[in-house]
Amino acid sequence: MATIKFMLQSERENAPIYLRLSVGKGNTPKRKTREFINAKAWSKAKGYPNDKDADGKNLKSRLLDLEAHVLKQFTDDDKKGLKIDGDWLEKTIDKFHDRIEPTNLDYIVAYGEHYVKRLPYSISAKGKKGVNASTVTKYNTIVEKLRGYESHSGRPLLVRDINLAFRDNFLEYLETVENISDNTAGRYLGFVKTIVLHARKNGINVSPQIDDFRAFTIKAPIVTLTPDEIEQLKATEYKDEKLDAARDWLVMSCFLGQRASDLLRMNEKMIEKHGGHRFVVLTQQKTGKTVQIPIHYEVDDILRKRHGKFPPVFAKNPSSNSALYDRLLKDVCAMAKIDEMTEGNLTDPQTKKYGTGNYPKWMLVSSHIGRRSFATNFYAQREYPTPLLMSVTGHATETMFLEYIGKKPMDYAIQLAEIWAEKSKSAPPLLRALTA
């Protein structure tokens, strides 16, 4: 005679409820029921929720229905001589919830692959067809991370398994097994949710908890190159051609303000003349915006040095090109003695753990530093209005731009106070009194 017991294995507010089926000695498979409860609302003595309120009564009723379903299925399948084990119990619980066997697209990895294949045919809210190559790469990465998590956990996941408990476990896996930074892991959660919401629109059964499934970001210290450090780069001699090219790209990026994906595909064909001035004109891969970037004299110096051409790239494949550039930059900055101790996020060489610490600045340099340096250095100069800088960086709003360079409300207040203090020196006595 088979018996069933419901139990918890967690003291969390969102604890999954397990069903254990006792068939005989040594055969007691246990699987999640797809139901969750605050552990404080569970009665260990009864093996059911406390039924003092409507939620508890409804949950208990569902568990009793599941119990009856499993016992009936056991009776039928045991007579047929079918093997009763954990896989059987998993499928039986699935059958109770769906009343149909899961199809391939009911599984998160399979649906993720399907989602990636459909990206070129997607239509955005603004009516744009398809996505850029970097978006496809991001979602392919997510599918690989989900596949790795399944391998780590030892079982395939259905789309409806993507719930709050999964979020916690997946986040732990990303940070401890994959050694992925907090910010990247937080973004990955958002990509997973996007896939699940797409599945829901297409009739796939998903967890009701998906609406509370949140991504997150942790603000990392902002690292930029100062004008003096840019001069150090310019003054350093690099005998290696690749290092020399990487230095030139880095210096140019501090005056072009573009992401590495756009910077490293610049060529002389993108240079246009308008109103007697030369511009680099390109469409940003990430945003789809066309930007016109005036050629700064520092950029012009490098173009003249290279006979009107941009520096050579490091690989034909864009992804490999960016990765090689990223690695070369650390050597470039180390040789230029850009070594001021700076707060930043890094995988510590000794502890192998990712986190915030103080390191020589060259260790914190990445391909994004040029774009941040452009925005930060020019914003600090009053003669460059923020909208002009945004026209180069492609930020949609001033709020986004200011957040990008790490400006806080007090920064604006101090800037205004300094302007008023300067003006008060030449103001009439009455106005000086008003601004004092």
The residue-averaged pLDDT of 237-246 equals 96
pLDDT at 129 over 70: yes
So what's the pLDDT on residue 415?
64
So what's the pLDDT on residue 53?
82
pLDDT at 425 over 80: no
Of the two residues 433 and 227, the one the predictor is more confident about is 227
Q: Of 54-63, 248-257, 327-336, 395-404, which range is least confident?
A: 395-404
So what's the pLDDT on residue 191?
96
pLDDT tens digits along 105-127: 999 999 999 999 999 999 887 78
Task: Report percent pLDDT > 70 for the chain.
Answer: 93
The CA distance from 50 to 73, in Å, is 27
Q: Which one of 101-115, 272-286, 324-338, 352-366 scores highest in mean pLDDT?
A: 324-338
pLDDT tens digits along 145-155: 999 999 998 88
- pLDDT mean across residues, the chain: 88
The residue-averaged pLDDT of 316-340 equals 93
Task: Name the CATH topology of 104-212.
Answer: DNA polymerase; domain 1 (1.10.150)
Contact predicate 229/335, CB 8 Å: no
CATH number of the structural domain 227-405:
1.10.443.10
So what's the pLDDT on residue 225?
95
Spans of all domains in the chain: 3-98, 104-212, 227-405, 407-436
So what's the pLDDT on residue 403?
77
The residue-averaged pLDDT of 391-417 equals 73
Nearest alpha carbon to residue 44 among 9, 3, 70, 69:
9
Of the two residues 54 and 411, the one the predictor is more confident about is 54
pLDDT at 321 over 80: yes
So what's the pLDDT on residue 416?
67
For the chain, the first-to-last Cα distance in angstroms comes to 89
So what's the pLDDT on residue 56?
86
430: pLDDT confidence band, cut at 50, 70 and 90? low
pLDDT tens digits along 214-228: 998 877 788 999 999
Longest dimension (CA), the chain: 102
Establish whether domains 104-212 and 227-405 are of one fold: no
404: pLDDT confidence band, cut at 50, 70 and 90? confident
Nearest alpha carbon to residue 186 among 218, 229, 154:
218
Contact predicate 264/321, CB 8 Å: yes
Of the two residues 44 and 353, the one the predictor is more confident about is 44
So what's the pLDDT on residue 99?
55
So what's the pLDDT on residue 279?
95
pLDDT tens digits along 34-48: 899 999 999 999 999
pLDDT tens digits along 51-106: 788 888 889 999 999 999 999 999 999 998 899 999 899 989 988 886 555 678 99
So what's the pLDDT on residue 428?
63
pLDDT at 353 over 80: no
